Amino acid sequence: MTTLRVAMIGHGFMGSAHSVGWRQAPRMFSLPADVEMAVVVGRKPEAAAAAAEQWGWQESASDWREVIARDDIDIVDVVTPGDSHAEIAIAALKAGKHVLCEKPLANSVAEAEAMAQAAAAATGVRAMVGFTYRRVPAVTFLRDLIAEGVVGEIQQVRAAYRQDWLVDPEMPLAWRLQKEHAGSGALGDIGAHAIDTTQFVTGLAVSAVSGTIETIVKQRPLLGEGSGLSGTAADGYGEVTVDDVAIFTGRLANGALVSFEATRFATGRKNQLTIEVSGTKGALAFDLEDLNSLQFYDRTAPADRQGFTKILVTEGVHPYVSAWWPAGHMLGYEHGFSHQVKDLIEGIVDGTDPHGTFAEGLAVQRVLEAVEVSSGRESAWVSIPGATPK
């Protein structure tokens, strides 16, 4: 059996989650290749060494270009902030490495296009974007049920991603709230998941959008020079330059409307990605705060016993679940990272692209940009060129 050696570039929160995926997947699944956690890369050598020690990478390094150039590296996992995704991922693809790139694919459509082109041009290597929620078993199963036809023709979708960590106006300014670093706010960070999940489960592209993005708290306290923020403010407050909330309507390739919302001001909602797909035969609904279950309404059932069925997606017959625990045993957030690794490794061995392609990452980026354009045009509808069913 071949051995695939991984280099992970970056080691923040996502580095921790990806490390769990690399560590767990080979233990829980029967993968068609051996996987080695070879090297973790960070600009500061001591921090990278500490990350390697903590998460079990064989070694650490500080120059990602050197690592990408190494012959003993097969896979490059990019978990840096979005502004460096394009440079690293394209370089890795050109060096003949398989690439897993954390979402969002990039901070702009231009970068994402270059990445998608690089992925298309790189023969024999796989490129995957890490929309991990696709591989929550209930979400994968939702997609499978739609593909099987249980909702019939899709007539309406409702998708939202709601958090509340910015409700307090005295929460300090951070780099995530500055456009030059983060690119976007709630829209790009969590709205991207709502868009991708919609396109993934319906199999339909968002072809146009109309919407509004807005910054609710426009100034926040500065924490001082050491905060890593751009600029300073004499009065101790700095400008928030990304959106806090995005509310928009999308149109799918089949004509159905989608109501979207992404917000960091939904008091009490901690990490609530929700989607409900309504069709002629039924409906399916998912809530990330209850991630082991899926709600299914079957309009073809006898009239007196229709209702939303809460399916615990924890049985051996459900996607990915048989590798884990017996019936009714809950999975958590990080399991998606193992599933992502499993599918990537299988794709590499099979020579097929696992879903979450760079083209799909680009499609999300185009929708995000269109929302910003629409918001700047009094929320008028904006078409997304080239949007076609997946």
x-or-dash string of contact with its own copies, 36-75, rule CB under 8 A: ------------------xxx-------------------
Cβ 219 to its own copies, closest distance in Å?
15
Among 259, 349, 355, 390, binds its own copies (CB under 8 A): 259
Residue span binding its own copies (CB under 8 A) among the ranges 67-75, 78-86, 174-182, 241-249 = 241-249
Does residue 150 contact residue 284 with C-beta atoms inside 8 Å? yes
**Looking at beta carbons only, is 15 or 361 nearer to its own copies?**
15
**Looking at beta carbons only, is 87 or 214 nearer to its own copies?**
214
| CA distance to 58, 76, 143, per residue, from 55 (Å) | 9, 17, 32
Tell me if 137 contacts its own copies by CB under 8 A.
Answer: no
Among 2, 226, 300, 317, binds its own copies (CB under 8 A): 317
| CA distance to 164, 204, 268, per residue, from 255 (Å) | 32, 10, 34
d(CA 193, CA 364): 9
Site for its own copies in 291-310 (CB under 8 A): 291-293, 296-297, 299, 303-310
Cβ 328 to its own copies, closest distance in Å?
3
**Looking at beta carbons only, is 69 or 257 nearer to its own copies?**
257
Beta bridge partners of 307: none
Among 315, 346, 373, 390, binds its own copies (CB under 8 A): 315
| CA distance to 27, 87, 130, 276, per residue, from 197 (Å) | 28, 26, 12, 11
**Percentage helix, strand, coil, to 5, in the chain?**
35, 25, 40
Instruction: Name the nearest CA neighbour of 113 among 383, 364, 379, 302.
Output: 364
Tell me if 169 contacts its own copies by CB under 8 A.
Answer: yes
**Looking at beta carbons only, is 144 or 350 nearer to its own copies?**
144
d(CA 298, CA 261): 26
Site for its own copies in 213-232 (CB under 8 A): 214, 216
Per DSSP, 356 falls in state: S
